[in-house]
Amino acid sequence: MERLIVIVLFTGVDLLDVTGPPEVFALTQPEMDTDTGYRVVLAAETPDPVTTAAGVRVLPDTTFDAITGHRIDTLLVPGSVRVDDRRRAQALTDDAVVARVKALAATTRRVTSVCVGAHLLAAAGLLDGRRATTHWSTAAQLAADHPDVTVDADPIFIRDGDVWTGAGISSCLDLALALVADDFGEQVALRVARQLVMFLKRSSGQSQFSVPTEPAATTRRIDDVRQYIMGNLQRPLTVPELAEYAHISERQLTRIFAAELGCTPATYVESARVELARNQLESTDATLERIATTCGFGTTATLVRAFRRKLNTTPTEYRNGFRYSR
């Protein structure tokens, strides 16, 4: 049985969104005893080369007109983003591409988006009444532009019926692996993950949030506070202490954190501690008591509560699921 996978191409598309998933599908065949049936084609408006956001040109396999009406197994929609002079990301949509996506989806078994491609699905009405994710930097835009969509910026991918949405950039590989697992089982997907040297195959429940890789704050003062937090996570780090370090009032500190980072100082500190604990759980044999101490939680019970609140799991469950292979 042929499993036709159509990847949508258009000018300015993110290159990794286009090239990452086909690698996963191609590596699946050697791990199978039977034919996977996967056939990946790149479709665009014309047969001419498409210039991606990276400046690399990609040659389509077919055109939208030629593929319309064919029975498609999986439609994969990547995205495109523009970053303004304040380093704010804005997902881009094109009415012509949206119309093509809507038409192709009508004959597709499974519709998926990668990164900000969710904005194209939403514009086509394919996410109405559904839960979806996208890159964290454009999640607020997706929610504002499409109030009928329940946007969850935390998971690396979400499945809602026959519609799958993926989070940012490299998580396109996680989404593709999840599609392979859905088709052929977890063990096949895990073997493909090893071929990709991904160390682990992340589940949809893993958060895309990562404190150290957030963009620098828009003011130097708060960026300095963030760096101070990251270097002193084992300390109590109260709001009065952080305000004193920044030489501003507690009220002003809280107001600036809300405006620039979208959270309170206490929430940011907890998120940073959870991120550090995640890294230790993935890469060390340290006990939960040791991790709780070095990450500033104080007690194992506090560590467990923070993990449940932030990741909807326990530290032990997280270590079992996301531990790096050795």
Question: Do 43 and 158 belong together in one domain?
Answer: yes
Beta bridge partners of 58: 50
Same domain for 90 and 9: yes
- Name the band, by pLDDT with cuts 50, 70 and 90, for residue 141: very high
Instruction: Please indicate, yes or no, if residue 226 is contained in any of the structural domains.
Output: yes
pLDDT tens digits along 70-125: 999 999 999 999 988 777 889 999 999 999 999 999 999 999 999 999 999 999 99
* Ramachandran sector of residue 35 (left: φ over 0; alpha: ψ -120 to 50; beta: rest): beta
Q: Assess whether 175 and 289 both reside in one domain.
A: no
- 13 burial type by CB count under 10 A (0-12 exposed, 13-18 middle, 19+ buried): buried
Specify the pLDDT at position 22.
95
What are the residue ranges of helices labelled H in the chain?
A: 15-28, 64-67, 95-105, 118-123, 139-145, 171-184, 186-195, 220-231, 239-246, 250-261, 265-283, 288-294, 300-311, 315-322
User: Would you state the pLDDT for residue 197?
Assistant: 63
Backbone angles phi, psi at 108, to 5 degrees: -115, 135
Task: Provide the terminal-to-terminal Cα distance of the chain, rounded to the nearest Å.
Answer: 37
Q: Which CATH number fits the domain that encloses residue 35?
A: 3.40.50.880
Tell me the whole-structure pTM to 2 decimals: 0.67
Q: Could you tell me the CATH number of the domain that includes residue 222?
A: 1.10.10.60
Residue 203 lies in a domain: no
Same domain, 245 and 185: no
Question: Quick one: which H or E segment has residue 163?
Answer: strand 163-166
Task: Quick: pLDDT tens for 172-223.
Answer: 888 999 999 999 988 888 788 878 765 444 544 455 555 544 444 456 777 7
- Asked if residue 200 is part of any domain, the answer here is no
Residues 187 and 279 in one domain: no
Residues 187 and 218 in one domain: no
Structural domain contains residue 205? no
Whether 147 and 64 share a structural domain: yes
Domain count, the chain: 2
Instruction: State the chain's mean pLDDT as an integer.
Output: 88
My answer on whether 158 and 217 are in the same domain is: no
Say whether both 181 and 33 belong to one domain. yes
Considering only CA atoms, give the Rg of the chain.
Answer: 22
Q: 165, 195, 225 — which closes off a domain? A: 195
Last residue of a domain, one of 195, 222, 246: 195
Same domain, 290 and 228: yes
**Which of 150, 170, 195 is at the close of a domain?**
195
**Domain contains 284:** yes
DSSP tally for the chain: helices H, then strands E: 14, 13
Give kind and range of the element (H or E) at residue 89: strand 89-91
Does residue 204 fall inside a structural domain?
no
Residue 252, domain extent:
211-322
Whether residues 46 and 123 share a domain: the answer is: yes
- Angle value at C-alpha 38, between 109 and 161, nearest 5 degrees: 25
Q: State the average pLDDT over residues 270-276.
A: 90
